[in-house]
Chains A and B, each alone.
Chain A
Amino acid sequence: GNSVTQMEGPVTLSEEAFLTINCTYTATGYPSLFWYVQYPGEGLQLLLKATKADDKGSNKGFEATYRKETTSFHLEKGSVQVSDSAVYFCAHGFYFGSGTKLNVKP
């Protein structure tokens, strides 16, 4: 079947800390993978994507690598900012994870 599993939140970090949000998926075939971000009161926005195995998507300092062998697409950022506080969703096609809330404290 098709599904996306991501780590439970909330994740609370201090500014400039390293961020990892884990995401694994099950899929028929090899779909494109996405990370979306949702700020309060808004819809989801595309953060980054990767279309095939070993591709790395990146945007605004965030990165994620499409790992076919581990069916994973973990989101990372080297130094988070308060403005990164939001809910992050991993997805493929129209299968979304449950979202991980990130709180960054100054």
Chain B
Amino acid sequence: DAGVIQSPRHEVTEMGQEVTLRCKPISGHNSLFWYRQTMMRGLELLIYFNNNVPIDDSGMPEDRFSAKMPNASFSTLKIQPSEPRDSAVYFCASSLLADSTSNQPQHFGDGTRLSIL
């Protein structure tokens, strides 16, 4: 079975550039999550979608970050302009329909390791 697929696996770019991270969730999953993982802050939920609709984006750090889910099989997380402090591993995860008390486990991709120079 195909799991959650993220691309690219690694991205190195200079500050000020636009960065686009991509995610393909597991087919049939209705919920999609974007997380950021750093040593200092651990795993942070940035935003999640149910049925392609953003439900909670309170974790998005600032206006430089945006996320879209144009259809059930694709989502993007965009950073524009990028800054060195955005360097982190970004994970996408999907699950059957979720809320904060959901009993549905999340399935994670292998992440995108982003380095902003």
A41 to B9, CA, bound (A): 10
Taking the closest CB of chain A, its distance from the CB of B115, in whole angstroms, is 15
**CB-based contact A89/B43 at 8 Å:** yes
- Residue pair B102, A31 in contact (C-beta under 8 Å): yes
Q: Which residues of B contact A95 (CB under 8 A)?
A: 100
CB-CB < 8 A to A96: which residues of B? 42-43, 45
Interface residues on B, range: 20 to 34
When C-beta atoms are compared, the residue in chain A nearest to B33 turns out to be: A94
Q: Is A94 a contact partner of B110 (Cβ separation < 8 A)?
A: no
B103 proximity list for chain A (CB < 8 A): 31-32, 49, 51
Given the known inter-chain contacts A93-B101, A93-B102, please indicate yes or no for A41 contacting B110, CB distance below 8 A: yes
Contacts A34-B105, A43-B93, A43-B109 given; indicate if A98 touches B98 (C-beta within 8 A).
Answer: no
The answer to whether A94 and B111 have CB atoms under 8 Å apart is no
Pair B100/A43 contact, Cβ less than 8 Å? no
B101 touches A31 (CB 8 A): yes
Cα–Cα, bound, A34→B93 (Å): 15
A-side interface residues, number (CB < 8 Å): 26
Choose among B33, B42, B45, B109 the residue that contacts A99 (Cβ–Cβ < 8 A).
B42
Across the two chains, which residue of chain A brings its CB closest to B99?
A93
Whether a CB of chain A sits under 8 angstroms from the CB of B49 is no
A29 on the B face (CB < 8 A)? yes
Instruction: Answer yes or no: A45 CB below 8 A from chain B CBs.
Output: yes
Within the complex, what minimum Cβ distance (angstroms) separates B24 from chain A?
A: 14
Q: List 17 A-B contacts (CB under 8 A).
A: A29-B101, A32-B104, A34-B105, A42-B110, A43-B93, A43-B109, A43-B110, A44-B106, A44-B108, A51-B103, A89-B43, A92-B101, A93-B99, A94-B48, A96-B42, A98-B42, A98-B43
The 6 closest A-B pairs by CB, nearest first: A43-B108, A32-B103, A31-B101, A93-B100, A98-B42, A46-B105
Q: A43-B110, A96-B43 are in contact. List 9 more A-B contacts (CB 8 A).
A: A27-B101, A28-B100, A36-B108, A43-B109, A93-B102, A94-B48, A94-B102, A96-B45, A98-B42
